[in-house]
Amino acid sequence: MELNILLIAIGTKNKAKTAAVEEIAKKYFENIDVEYISVPSGVSDQPFSDAETRQGAINRAVNTREATNADLSFGLEGGVYELDGEIYCCNWGAVAIKDGPVISSSGASFVLPEEIAEQIHAGKELGPVMDIFTETKDIRQRSGAIGIFTDGLVDRKEMFEHIVTLLIGQVRYQMKQ
Protein backbone atom coordinates (compact mmCIF):
# COMPACT_ATOMS: atom_id res chain seq x y z
CA MET A 1 0.00 0.00 0.00
CA GLU A 2 1.36 3.41 -0.97
CA LEU A 3 1.24 6.20 1.59
CA ASN A 4 0.42 9.69 0.42
CA ILE A 5 3.09 12.06 1.63
CA LEU A 6 2.26 15.73 1.98
CA LEU A 7 5.21 17.86 0.90
CA ILE A 8 5.51 21.01 2.97
CA ALA A 9 8.06 23.66 2.06
CA ILE A 10 9.08 26.63 4.16
CA GLY A 11 10.59 29.74 2.56
CA THR A 12 13.21 30.33 5.24
CA LYS A 13 15.88 28.58 7.26
CA ASN A 14 15.18 30.68 10.38
CA LYS A 15 14.95 28.16 13.22
CA ALA A 16 12.06 29.84 15.04
CA LYS A 17 9.97 29.87 11.85
CA THR A 18 10.86 26.39 10.60
CA ALA A 19 10.24 24.83 14.02
CA ALA A 20 6.83 26.52 14.20
CA VAL A 21 5.71 25.21 10.81
CA GLU A 22 7.08 21.72 11.36
CA GLU A 23 5.60 21.32 14.85
CA ILE A 24 2.13 22.51 13.90
CA ALA A 25 2.08 20.61 10.58
CA LYS A 26 2.97 17.35 12.38
CA LYS A 27 0.14 17.99 14.80
CA TYR A 28 -2.50 18.22 12.06
CA PHE A 29 -1.19 16.14 9.14
CA GLU A 30 0.15 12.60 8.92
CA ASN A 31 2.97 11.53 6.58
CA ILE A 32 4.64 14.83 5.90
CA ASP A 33 7.99 15.64 4.37
CA VAL A 34 9.37 19.11 5.13
CA GLU A 35 11.81 21.10 3.02
CA TYR A 36 13.46 24.40 3.97
CA ILE A 37 14.72 26.82 1.37
CA SER A 38 15.78 30.45 1.40
CA VAL A 39 13.66 32.62 -0.87
CA PRO A 40 13.41 36.39 -1.20
CA SER A 41 10.58 38.26 0.48
CA GLY A 42 10.53 41.00 -2.15
CA VAL A 43 10.06 43.62 0.56
CA SER A 44 12.39 45.73 2.71
CA ASP A 45 14.77 43.97 5.09
CA GLN A 46 12.73 45.72 7.78
CA PRO A 47 9.11 45.80 6.61
CA PHE A 48 7.49 48.95 8.00
CA SER A 49 3.75 48.33 7.84
CA ASP A 50 1.25 45.53 8.22
CA ALA A 51 0.72 45.65 4.45
CA GLU A 52 4.44 45.32 3.64
CA THR A 53 4.91 42.55 6.21
CA ARG A 54 1.90 40.65 4.84
CA GLN A 55 3.22 41.06 1.30
CA GLY A 56 6.59 39.67 2.38
CA ALA A 57 4.90 36.55 3.78
CA ILE A 58 2.84 36.11 0.62
CA ASN A 59 5.89 36.59 -1.61
CA ARG A 60 7.86 34.02 0.40
CA ALA A 61 5.00 31.50 0.15
CA VAL A 62 4.61 31.99 -3.61
CA ASN A 63 8.37 31.95 -4.25
CA THR A 64 8.62 28.76 -2.20
CA ARG A 65 5.80 27.11 -4.14
CA GLU A 66 7.46 28.04 -7.43
CA ALA A 67 10.85 26.70 -6.28
CA THR A 68 9.59 23.43 -4.79
CA ASN A 69 6.15 22.63 -6.20
CA ALA A 70 5.22 21.55 -2.66
CA ASP A 71 1.66 20.77 -1.64
CA LEU A 72 1.81 23.53 0.98
CA SER A 73 4.38 26.33 0.84
CA PHE A 74 4.73 28.62 3.83
CA GLY A 75 6.08 32.13 4.12
CA LEU A 76 6.45 33.88 7.48
CA GLU A 77 7.46 37.50 7.94
CA GLY A 78 8.05 39.79 10.89
CA GLY A 79 7.80 43.55 10.60
CA VAL A 80 6.91 46.74 12.41
CA TYR A 81 4.30 49.46 12.08
CA GLU A 82 3.60 52.78 13.73
CA LEU A 83 0.39 53.53 15.60
CA ASP A 84 -0.29 56.59 17.75
CA GLY A 85 3.40 57.46 17.83
CA GLU A 86 4.54 54.02 19.00
CA ILE A 87 6.28 51.27 17.06
CA TYR A 88 4.68 47.84 17.19
CA CYS A 89 6.15 44.54 16.10
CA CYS A 90 3.81 42.56 13.81
CA ASN A 91 3.91 39.14 12.22
CA TRP A 92 2.28 37.63 9.17
CA GLY A 93 2.17 34.24 7.55
CA ALA A 94 0.96 32.88 4.24
CA VAL A 95 0.50 29.45 2.72
CA ALA A 96 0.45 28.85 -1.02
CA ILE A 97 -1.52 25.74 -1.86
CA LYS A 98 -0.25 23.70 -4.81
CA ASP A 99 -2.49 24.56 -7.77
CA GLY A 100 -4.60 26.64 -5.39
CA PRO A 101 -4.95 29.93 -3.60
CA VAL A 102 -2.64 31.78 -1.24
CA ILE A 103 -4.04 32.33 2.24
CA SER A 104 -2.63 34.84 4.74
CA SER A 105 -3.11 35.44 8.47
CA SER A 106 -1.59 37.72 11.05
CA GLY A 107 -0.54 37.12 14.61
CA ALA A 108 0.36 38.99 17.74
CA SER A 109 1.38 42.62 17.80
CA PHE A 110 3.18 44.28 20.68
CA VAL A 111 4.68 47.66 21.37
CA LEU A 112 8.45 48.07 21.29
CA PRO A 113 10.18 50.09 24.02
CA GLU A 114 11.12 53.63 23.01
CA GLU A 115 14.88 52.88 23.02
CA ILE A 116 14.29 50.16 20.39
CA ALA A 117 11.69 52.19 18.45
CA GLU A 118 14.13 55.10 18.07
CA GLN A 119 16.60 52.82 16.32
CA ILE A 120 13.90 51.45 14.01
CA HIS A 121 12.93 55.04 13.13
CA ALA A 122 16.60 55.65 12.35
CA GLY A 123 16.40 52.94 9.68
CA LYS A 124 17.88 49.98 11.55
CA GLU A 125 16.53 46.44 11.33
CA LEU A 126 14.94 44.97 14.47
CA GLY A 127 16.97 41.72 14.50
CA PRO A 128 20.42 43.34 14.70
CA VAL A 129 19.11 45.98 17.12
CA MET A 130 17.86 43.19 19.40
CA ASP A 131 21.20 41.36 19.15
CA ILE A 132 22.96 44.48 20.46
CA PHE A 133 20.26 45.10 23.08
CA THR A 134 20.46 41.53 24.43
CA GLU A 135 24.20 41.15 23.83
CA THR A 136 23.55 37.88 21.97
CA LYS A 137 23.74 36.66 18.39
CA ASP A 138 20.74 35.80 16.20
CA ILE A 139 18.04 36.40 18.83
CA ARG A 140 15.52 36.21 15.97
CA GLN A 141 16.40 32.52 15.57
CA ARG A 142 15.30 31.91 19.16
CA SER A 143 13.10 33.96 21.50
CA GLY A 144 13.01 37.09 19.37
CA ALA A 145 11.94 40.53 20.51
CA ILE A 146 8.62 39.12 21.70
CA GLY A 147 10.44 36.73 24.04
CA ILE A 148 12.48 39.54 25.53
CA PHE A 149 9.65 42.04 25.89
CA THR A 150 7.12 39.52 27.29
CA ASP A 151 9.64 38.37 29.90
CA GLY A 152 9.79 34.95 28.24
CA LEU A 153 6.05 34.29 28.40
CA VAL A 154 5.79 34.11 24.59
CA ASP A 155 8.70 33.40 22.27
CA ARG A 156 9.05 33.86 18.52
CA LYS A 157 8.38 30.21 17.70
CA GLU A 158 5.16 30.23 19.74
CA MET A 159 4.06 33.45 18.09
CA PHE A 160 4.54 31.92 14.63
CA GLU A 161 2.86 28.66 15.75
CA HIS A 162 -0.33 30.65 16.28
CA ILE A 163 -0.17 32.01 12.73
CA VAL A 164 0.64 28.59 11.25
CA THR A 165 -2.29 27.08 13.16
CA LEU A 166 -4.60 29.72 11.66
CA LEU A 167 -3.25 28.95 8.18
CA ILE A 168 -3.50 25.16 8.51
CA GLY A 169 -7.01 25.51 9.90
CA GLN A 170 -7.99 27.47 6.79
CA VAL A 171 -6.32 24.87 4.54
CA ARG A 172 -8.19 22.05 6.29
CA TYR A 173 -11.47 23.95 5.93
CA GLN A 174 -10.86 24.40 2.19
CA MET A 175 -9.99 20.71 1.81
CA LYS A 176 -13.48 19.84 3.11
CA GLN A 177 -15.26 22.07 0.59
Q: Can you give the CATH number for the domain in which 130 is found?
A: 3.90.950.10
Count structural domains, the chain: 1
Predicted confidence at residue 77, as pLDDT, reads 96
For the segment 109-161, what is each residue's pLDDT rounded down to a tens digit? Answer: 999 999 999 999 999 988 888 888 888 887 776 788 888 888 889 988 999 99
The C-alpha atoms of residue 61 and residue 52 are separated, in whole angstroms, by 14
Residue 1 domain-assigned?
no
Domain coverage including residue 15: 6-176
Give pLDDT tens digits for 35-53.
999 999 999 999 999 999 9
Residue 11 in 3-state DSSP?
Answer: coil
User: What's the whole-number average pLDDT of the chain?
Assistant: 92
1 pLDDT higher than 50: no
97 or 175, greater pLDDT: 97
